[in-house]
Amino acid sequence: MDPVNMKSVQDALEGFLDTEVYVHLETTNGAYASHHNEQFFSAGAYIRNAKLTYERAKITGAGPYRVGLKIPFGWVYAEGITHYEQDDKGRLLLAGHDYDGKLAVALQISTTPFE
């Protein structure tokens, strides 16, 4: 994966506009909770092969980045994105790594289901 290039990611996001896609969205403990301090709790979320169509997409921020997908009745957001890749299957793979290099968030978009 490469560090985020906002134009490349924006172009890739727009390539899926108004197309039925499969989304994988995952957060791990590193995304919202600091485990160096016991007052914080662990948090995480996971969804795989959610089928949706988005009408607008945007990457914002100065890094780490926020990616939003506008769906008919709301938004799908991923915050903390630091890296991206468009693989040989045409899938857009976005990831956010914490200060220790561990995965904190992943957002993946594909026209075919994830395995």
Per-residue pLDDT tens digits for 15-57 = 999 999 999 999 987 544 444 455 556 678 899 999 999 999 9
Tell me 56's DSSP state: E
Residue pair 82/62 in contact (Cβ under 8 Å)? The answer is no
What pLDDT is stored for residue 22 in this prediction?
98
Fold annotation for 2-110: Protein Yojf; Chain: A; (2.70.180)
**How many CB atoms are located within 10 Å of the residue 98 CB?**
17
Three-state SS at 44:
coil
Q: What is the pTM of this model?
A: 0.88
User: Which one, of 1, 53, 43, lies nearest residue 23 by Cα?
Assistant: 53
Residue ranges covered by each domain of the chain:
2-110
